[in-house]
Amino acid sequence: MLISIIVAMDEKGGIGIGDRLPWHLPDDLKYFKNTTMGHHLIMGRRTFESLAQPLPGRVNIVLTRDPAYTAVGDVLVAHSLGKALAQAQRRGEREAFIGGGAAIYRQSLPLAHRLYVTLVHAQTEADVFFPQINPNNWIEQRSSHHPADRNHPFPFTTKLLRREA
């Protein structure tokens, strides 16, 4: 099973502020949806609780250390990253996605085969950051630039990176 990280970050690695994204980029949200649709999406409890509801069309797996935690709806709960990945693999997943937050990204980065990165070409106010990526470990497979426009206050580039063999 492939382990993939999907993240949007600014030029300083900022990924969030106050349990929300520092920007609203509709086309990046569509990219996230299209990329993760039909897959298992693993995220931390705070990231999950920042959503209005479980993300439809995906198996949402929430990571928490709280043994009494229960999530509403069609959501799986795991108490470690290893257990979450094992759940996805047992259910036949071929590419599991890690969707944050920062602590989950730090744990999963050494295990990841692919990085789906949206680089927001700005320096926003952020209080949560993605861990440093060693560029020597990754090969860019593809990228696509999106200019700023009336619906997108910042330009951004989506990149697919594959771990160097």
User: What mean pLDDT is reported for the chain?
Assistant: 97
Tell me the CA end-to-end span of the chain in Å, nearest whole number.
Answer: 16
In this model, does residue 27 exceed pLDDT 80? yes
- The domains of the chain, with CATH numbers, are 2-134+145-155 (3.40.430.10)
Q: What digits encode the pLDDT tens for the residues 31-58?
A: 999 999 999 999 999 999 999 899 999 9
Residue 13 DSSP SS3: coil
The rounded percent of the chain whose pLDDT value lies above 90 is 95
Q: Is 32 exposed, middle or buried (0-12, 13-18, 19+ CB in 10 A)?
A: buried
Which of the four pLDDT bands, split at 50, 70 and 90, describes residue 72?
A: confident
pTM for the full predicted model: 0.96
71 in Cβ contact with 48 (< 8 Å): yes
Query: How many whole angstroms separate alpha carbon 157 and alpha carbon 146?
Result: 6
Structure tokens at 103: 């602590």
Residue type, 5: I
pLDDT in tens, 78-126: 999 999 999 999 999 999 999 999 999 999 999 999 999 999 999 999 9
